[in-house]
Structure 1
C-alpha cells in the first residue's frame, strides 16, 4: 500500500485538491497495479512565504540567475 504525500500552497479549492488526488491515484493504479481500494494520501498545505529552494547541484549561478524561485 503506497502512501502519497502532497505538499501544496494554500488556496486550492476542495474540488481542485480532489481532482489532483483522483488523478494521482488513477496513475498509481494504471502504472504500478496498485489495487483501487488501496488509497492512502496525505495533503499538507503551506503559506507561500514558507518555501525554500536551494540551487540544483552542479548548476552555476548564472544558469539560475533569472529564476525567482531559487534562493
Structure 2
C-alpha cells in the first residue's frame, strides 16, 4: 500500500512524466511486492531553484533531470528487496527516459496499517492488510 511522491523540476513533457510514473509503479509491482491495482501517486513539479539538491553528495553528478521518489509504504521490506528495487528502478528510469542513474534518488518510509484510511473514514487494520497481501 505505498503512496508515492515523484518530485521533479518543471519542464518535463506529459509523456515523460507518464513514463516515470508508469516505471515507478511497474517496478513497485515487480520488485517491491505491491499489488497491480495499488497505485497512489502524486507528481510534484518545482520551478528552478525550488527543488534543491547537492550535485555530488553520495553520487556521481546530479543535474536538473534530478528525480526524488518519496515512497510511504505500509509494511517493511527486507534490505535485499529494497536494494534490488532501488537498482531496478534507477536502471529502468535511465533506459526509458535517458535520465542518468545519478539523477535518481529514492527515500522509503514505513508506517503501520492503522496509519492509513483508504476511504470512508475507516481505519485500515492488520486483518485487512493480511487479506490484501500488504
State the TM-score, normalizing by the size of structure 2: 0.39
> Structure 2 CA distance, aligned partners of 1:16 and 1:7?
13
Q: Which has the higher contact order (CA 8 A, sep 6+)?
A: 1
Unpaired runs of at least 5, structure 1: 57-71
> Structure 1 CA distance, aligned partners of 2:51 and 2:9?
9
Unpaired runs of at least 5, structure 2: 58-134
RMSD: 2.5
| SS of equivalent residue, structure 1 residue 12 | coil
The 1:53/1:19 distance shift into structure 2, 3 A limit, reads closer
State the TM-score, normalizing by the size of structure 1: 0.70
Cα drift, residue 52 of structure 1: 3.0
| SS of equivalent residue, structure 2 residue 20 | helix
More displaced stretch, 28-37 vs 47-56: 47-56
Structure 1 or 2, whichever has the larger Rg, is 1
Q: How many residues align?
A: 60
**In the alignment, which residue of structure 2 is the partner of 1:32?**
32
Cα drift, residue 48 of structure 1: 1.1
> Structure 1 CA distance, aligned partners of 2:32 and 2:53?
30
| SS of equivalent residue, structure 2 residue 49 | helix
